[in-house]
């Protein structure tokens, strides 16, 4: 589902770097990593009109294994919105990890997530030419959209 965004490392020039200290140095301190402030991601897909209620029902009780995997893959502030006139689903989340491609691969490798995607993909139509499913990866099922304004 999340693979249509850049698979490169999303770190920006303002992303804090990991301090490095030689473990044999007499003044060595533990290395640490500051939390990545995140990269905002937005995507769209079309919800089949006959599947609106099913889609809302399953998202009212998302499986705990799926929620855990989302968190473990460094995704925060995840929301999905629905426009009933156009049938568009708009997803928005913040990626706060340091290896987007690796985290998305871990997401795709989870059997429970694959099962969830098989169910939810059946309620949707992708805008991406050639997309087969969320689990297939490329081309992505959900279409990435460009952010044109942000006011933190």
- Beta strands 124-125 and 143-144 are unpaired
Cα separation, 78 vs 113, whole angstroms? 15
Residue 116 near residue 100, CB atoms below 8 Å: no
Phi, psi of 91 (to 5 degrees): -105, 140
The secondary structure of residue 55, as a DSSP letter, is H
- State how far the Cα of 139 lies from the Cα of 134, in Å rounded to an integer: 9
Q: Shortest CA distance to 6 belongs to which of 140, 141, 148, 128?
A: 140
Which is the catalytic residue, given 56, 59, 112, 118? 59
Nearest to 115 by CA among 76, 72, 62, 71: 62
Q: Does the annotation mark 87 as catalytic?
A: no
Residue pair 136/34 in contact (Cβ under 8 Å)? The answer is no
Active site residues: 59
């Amino acid at each position: 589902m999340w693979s249509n965004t850049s698979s490169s490392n999303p770190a920006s020039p303002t992303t804090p770097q990991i301090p490095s200290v030689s473990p044999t140095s007499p003044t060595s301190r533990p290395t640490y990593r500051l939390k990545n402030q995140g990269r905002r991601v937005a995507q769209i897909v079309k919800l089949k009109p006959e599947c609106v209620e099913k889609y809302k029902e399953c998202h009212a009780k998302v499986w705990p294994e799926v929620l855990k995997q989302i968190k473990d893959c460094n995704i925060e502030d995840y929301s999905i919105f629905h426009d009933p006139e156009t049938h568009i689903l708009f997803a928005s989340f913040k990626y706060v990890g340091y290896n987007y491609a690796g985290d998305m691969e871990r997401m795709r490798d989870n059997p429970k997530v694959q099962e969830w995607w098989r169910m939810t993909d059946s309620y949707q139509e992708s805008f991406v030419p050639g997309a087969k499913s969320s689990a297939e990866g490329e081309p992505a099922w959900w279409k990435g959209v460009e952010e044109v304004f942000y006011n933190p």
